[in-house]
């Protein structure tokens, strides 16, 4: 088998060989080489211990060196090509990872052979290696054959593999999304039988796999695999809960299928790098996935066979915040996703009766920096099969966005403030700083949004009118 390999990999292989150590390119780098996919992050394994190969790696990586993974036997380096391209390498001593039955972190044990190291890897398509510098292809578990068939299979018995490292079950569904592969039946059965084992893995590691799944080319297929395997029941139970029973008259949609459709549609509305929502956008994709998770808790069967989900937006926002927090997502992302879920029904009233300018201002002000994402989520959520309704909704959204553009030419929405600031409110009303000032400020902001800019005398008159009504 002939390979066109990164020159840096061959060079590094020579440097290790000169010191008497083995070095092999492994994992995703070899897989992507066979798939002809671009990859500038190269993973290697070696017979040397970290303290032995650190000097070699420091000489190689004249543009960067890191050792955060030293306790796992991993060191990394980076060099920059003349064209500016960065090539990052990580080198790990031959090893085997195992979990104690009650531990959330793997125990690292060094190994002695390349074949032994490959046997501990997650799937055969990642258990191939290329010895450098001589470019000997090593494939003890038939990874190339599985790669050609787009199959995910473990190098050893899947139950042993998932028992050693339960996170591999999450990687399986992630590779379904990233590579479009299918999980081999025995491997899939082992995942279903062992899903409870995922609970010993830290929330941060599960979160990272979910992020990779959602940012992939096929998150729809990845979410389906996550649910079908039973893993979602443990790590994201709000999603399988969307599989509500459809009544015999089909008067309401299957919420799970609807959610996947919204996810697909939202992704299609992402923009290029120079647009307002560059793809792939984790915030929009998470909001699309979670936007209806409040429906099971709010479902009510009304007279005449109707089904309602009143306030599922507000309930879903609270549920989204709780789940994302449990998965250790970033606080700002949690705030943004839960707010998108909370606001995703906000526009629907516009379709029946176009808003006043003040209502449009309020919508944009409330959406804030999420305005572009919110509009895309709202459009994606309009999955009606009624062509007339679809056209009406799309036309209404186009009209509202045009009005926003026109209003933004007249005033800066991001800079909208009350016509009176806090100090002026205190002086005019003769009150001390405290909750009353905050209430007055919020009222004056509402007045500004409803009526547009006011001159000073108008603003003072409105403040005094409000204060009289409040008994101040």
Could you read off the pLDDT of 148-172 as tens digits, one per residue? 999 999 999 999 999 989 999 999 9
Task: Answer with the residue of higher pLDDT: 85 or 313.
Answer: 313
What is the distance between the alpha carbons of residues 95 and 110, in angstroms, rounded to a whole number?
A: 4
Q: What is the mean pLDDT of residues 394-399?
A: 92
Q: Is the pLDDT of residue 85 over 50?
A: yes
The pTM (predicted TM-score) of the whole model is 0.83
Q: What is the pLDDT of residue 327?
A: 98
Q: What is the mean pLDDT of residues 42-67?
A: 94
| C-beta of residue 390 within 8 angstroms of C-beta of residue 384 | yes
Query: What is the total residue count of the chain?
Result: 472
Q: Is the pLDDT of residue 4 over 90?
A: no
83-87: list long-range contacts, CB under 8 Å, 24+ apart.
85/40, 86/40, 87/6, 87/8, 87/40, 87/42
Q: What is the pLDDT of residue 108?
A: 66
What is the distance between the alpha carbons of residues 116 and 168, in angstroms, rounded to a whole number?
A: 18
The structural domains of the chain, ordered by start, are 1-146 (3.30.460.10), 150-236 (1.10.110.30), 271-415 (no CATH), 422-470 (no CATH)
What is the distance between the alpha carbons of residues 235 and 247, in angstroms, rounded to a whole number?
A: 28
Q: Which residues sit opposite 45 in a β-bridge? A: 24, 92
| Mean pLDDT for the chain overall | 90
Give the closest residue to 123 by CA, choosing from 36, 46, 181.
181
pLDDT confidence bin for 249, thresholds 50/70/90:
very low
Give the closest residue to 427 by CA, choosing from 463, 469, 465, 470.
463
Q: What is the pLDDT of residue 248?
A: 41
Of 83-97, 246-260, 274-288, 408-422, the range with the lowest mean pLDDT is: 246-260
Query: What is the DSSP annotation of 412-439?
Result: -GGG---SS-HHHHHHHHT--SSHHHHH
Q: What percent of the chain has pLDDT over 90?
A: 63
| C-beta of residue 44 within 8 angstroms of C-beta of residue 25 | yes
- Could you give the C-alpha distances from 418 to 88, 225, 436, 442, 459, in angstroms and in order? 51, 50, 15, 8, 9
What is the distance between the alpha carbons of residues 461 and 111, in angstroms, rounded to a whole number?
A: 80
Q: What is the pLDDT of residue 438?
A: 87
Q: Is the pLDDT of residue 247 over 80?
A: no
What is the distance between the alpha carbons of residues 389 and 413, in angstroms, rounded to a whole number?
A: 30
| 83: enclosing H helix or E strand | none
Largest CA distance in the chain: 88
* Top-confidence range, 72-76, 247-251, 345-349, 444-448: 72-76
Give the closest residue to 144 by CA, choosing from 127, 119, 161.
127
Give the closest residue to 183 by CA, choosing from 220, 238, 221, 239.
221
Give the closest residue to 261 by CA, choosing from 291, 296, 305.
291
Q: What is the pLDDT of residue 91?
A: 97
Q: What is the mean pLDDT of residues 266-275?
A: 96
Q: Which alpha helices (H) appear in 291-386, and where do they start and end?
A: 295-298, 312-326, 331-343, 348-352, 357-367, 371-381
User: pLDDT (tens digit, 9 = 90+) per residue, 7-42?
Assistant: 999 999 999 999 999 999 999 899 999 988 877 779
Q: What is the mean pLDDT of residues 107-134?
A: 90
**Structure-block tokens of residue 368:** 């804030």
Q: What is the mean pLDDT of residues 313-339?
A: 97
| C-beta of residue 209 within 8 angstroms of C-beta of residue 234 | no
Q: What is the pLDDT of residue 420?
A: 81
Vertex 395 angle, CA 391 and 400, to 5°: 150
Sheet of 129-131, strand order: 65-66, 74-80, 86-93, 41-46, 23-26, 129-131, 136-138
What is the distance between the alpha carbons of residues 130 and 9, in angstroms, rounded to a whole number?
A: 10
| C-beta of residue 116 within 8 angstroms of C-beta of residue 94 | yes
Q: Taking the CB of residue 184, how many other CB atoms lie within 10 A of it?
A: 19
Q: What is the mean pLDDT of residues 176-201?
A: 96
Q: What percent of the chain has pLDDT over 70?
A: 94
Sign for the CA dihedral angle at 43, 45, 48, 49 comes to: positive
Of 281-290, 334-343, 345-354, the range with the lowest mean pLDDT is: 345-354
Task: Answer with the residue of higher pLDDT: 398 or 1.
Answer: 398
Q: What is the mean pLDDT of residues 210-223?
A: 97
Q: Which residues sit opposite 97 in a β-bridge? A: 108
Q: What is the pLDDT of residue 250?
A: 44
**Structure-block tokens of residue 222:** 């990845």
- Return the DSSP state at 110: E
Q: What is the pLDDT of residue 467?
A: 85
Q: What is the mean pLDDT of residues 102-126?
A: 82
Q: What is the mean pLDDT of residues 43-53?
A: 96
Q: What is the pLDDT of residue 312?
A: 95
- Return the DSSP state at 255: H
Q: What is the pLDDT of residue 446?
A: 81
């Amino acid at each position: 088998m002939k390979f066109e390999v990164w020159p840096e990999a061959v060079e590094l292989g020579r440097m290790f060989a000169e010191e008497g150590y083995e070095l092999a390119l492994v994992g995703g780098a070899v897989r992507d080489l066979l798939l002809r996919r671009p990859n500038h992050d190269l993973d290697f394994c070696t017979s040397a211990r970290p303290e032995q190969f650190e000097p070699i790696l420091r000489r190689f990586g004249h543009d960067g060196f890191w050792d955060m993974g030293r306790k796992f036997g991993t060191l990394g380096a980076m060099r920059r090509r003349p064209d500016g391209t960065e090539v990052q390498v990580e080198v790990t001593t031959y090893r085997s990872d195992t979990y104690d039955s009650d531990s959330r972190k793997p125990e690292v044990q060094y190994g002695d052979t390349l074949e032994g190291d490959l046997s501990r890897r997650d799937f055969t398509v990642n258990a191939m290696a290329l010895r450098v510098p001589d470019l000997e292809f090593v494939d003890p578990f038939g990874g190339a054959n599985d790669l050609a068939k787009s199959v995910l299979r473990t190098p050893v018995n899947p139950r042993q593999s998932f028992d050693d490292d339960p996170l591999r079950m999450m990687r399986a569904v992630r590779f379904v999304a990233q590579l479009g592969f299918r999980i081999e039946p025995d491997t899939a059965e082992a995942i279903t039988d062992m899903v409870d084992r995922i609970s010993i893995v830290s929330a941060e590691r599960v979160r990272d796999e979910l992020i990779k799944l959602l940012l992939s080319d096929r998150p729809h297929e990845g979410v389906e695999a996550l649910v079908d395997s039973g893993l979602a029941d443990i790590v994201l139970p709000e999603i399988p809960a969307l599989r509500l029973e459809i009544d015999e008259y089909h008067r309401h949609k299957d919420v799970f299928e609807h959610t996947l459709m919204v996810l697909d549609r939202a992704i299609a509305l992402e923009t290029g790098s120079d647009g307002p929502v560059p793809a792939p956008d984790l915030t929009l994709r998470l909001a699309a996935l979670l936007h209806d998770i409040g429906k099971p808790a709010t479902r009510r069967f009304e007279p005449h066979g109707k089904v309602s989900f009143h306030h599922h937006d507000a309930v879903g926002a609270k549920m989204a915040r709780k789940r994302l927090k449990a998965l250790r997502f970033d606080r700002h992302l949690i705030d943004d996703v839960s707010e998108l879920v909370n606001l995703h029904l906000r526009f629907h009233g516009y379709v029946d009766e176009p808003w006043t300018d003040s209502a449009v201002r309020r919508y944009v002000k409330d959406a804030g920096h999420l305005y572009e994402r919110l509009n895309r989520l709202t459009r994606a959520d309009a999955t009606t099969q009624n062509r007339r309704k679809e056209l009406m909704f799309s036309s209404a959204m186009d009209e509202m966005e045009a009005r926003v553009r026109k209003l933004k030419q007249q005033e800066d929405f991001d800079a909208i403030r009350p016509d009176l600031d806090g100090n002026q409110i205190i002086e005019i009303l003769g009150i001390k700083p405290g909750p009353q000032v905050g209430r007055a400020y919020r009222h004056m902001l509402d007045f500004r949004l409803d009526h547009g800019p006011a001159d000073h005398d108008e603003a003072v008159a409105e403040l005094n009118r409000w204060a009289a009504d409040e008994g101040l």
